[in-house]
Amino acid sequence: MARQNPATAHILIVDDDVRITQMLKRYLNEEGYLTSEAKDGEEMRLQLAHTQVDLILLDVSLPGGADGFDLVREVRAASDTPIIMLTGRNDVVDRIIGLEMGADDYLAKPFNLRELHARLKAILRRRNVQPPEQEETDKIVHFDRWALNLTRRELSSADGEGIHLTTGEYDLLAAFVAHPGRVLSRDFLLEETKGRHLDAYDRAIDAQIVRIRRKVEIDPKQPQIIRSIRGVGYMFAARVSVAKVA
């Protein structure tokens, strides 16, 4: 469970490059975060078994038998701990694979520390509970048997069960509920999701939609909420209603 104050969040850095690990630890410590480090999958497992971790910075290329993609799959099988993947390869395919496996975000090395921090804060903020004095009216969109809280960036079922969404999945679902009943092209969805994958190709959107369908559709193989429109794109077919809750 994430802490209420993002400044005390615990970040696990999984990278075998000592220079990068030390640079990240120094920067994040100065920003007020707690940090731990691991050089491979074995050390990462030990850290996760004994320490509460709020977010993982995970390198793709690691020594030993498991690379970053293997470890994303392993973490996702056990928890919804946020993951930002780091890689020295600016490869579109790598980015798509990471998102398909369940990573929340992706940065290519060399990266700007301030950009990394901004992405990290956005993910933690989405998962944190706001203190009472900072509470605001929640804008909630209802569709089918789901409720998407646009203020807290959270999806829940009719019985109140929270459903984990990665940052990319949330951005895409929010774009759909904002345009119900309209046929949306992949280019439009790329633009609506703030250009997160503008350097990728159509498969990036398709992969995210497959993951969302697995979470919201009764039968993901015969989707009734997010429908494919052959040769054009997708349409959000569910009826949408909006409510505000203080």
In this predicted model, what pLDDT tens digit does every residue of 123-166 receive, in sequence order? 888 766 232 234 456 789 999 999 998 888 889 998 888 998 88
Average pLDDT over residues 48-65: 88
Q: Characterize 23-59 residue by residue with b for buried, 16 or more Cβ atoms within 10 angstroms of its Cβ, and e for exposed.
A: ebbeebeeeebbbbbbbbbebbbebbeeeebbbbbbb
The dihedral through the CA atoms of 81, 82, 86, 92 has a sign that is positive
Question: For the chain, what are the domain ranges?
Answer: 6-127, 136-245
* Same-fold call for 6-127 versus 136-245: no
Percent of the chain with pLDDT over 90: 33
Residue 203 has pLDDT above 60, yes or no: yes
Tell me what the pLDDT averaged over the chain comes to.
Answer: 82
Residue 174 has pLDDT above 80, yes or no: yes
For the full predicted model, state whether its pTM sits above 0.85: no
| 136-245 classified as CATH 1.25.40.10 | no
Residue 37 has pLDDT above 50, yes or no: yes
- Distance between CA 234 and CA 60 in Å, rounded? 31
In this structure, what are the phi and psi dihedrals at residue 173, rounded to the nearest 5 degrees? -65, -40
- Distance between CA 204 and CA 200 in Å, rounded? 6
H or E element in which residue 210 lies: helix 202-216
As beta bridge partners, residue 87 has 108
Domain 6-127 classification at class level: alpha beta
pLDDT computed for residue 143 by the predictor: 95
pLDDT interval class at 8 (50, 70, 90): confident
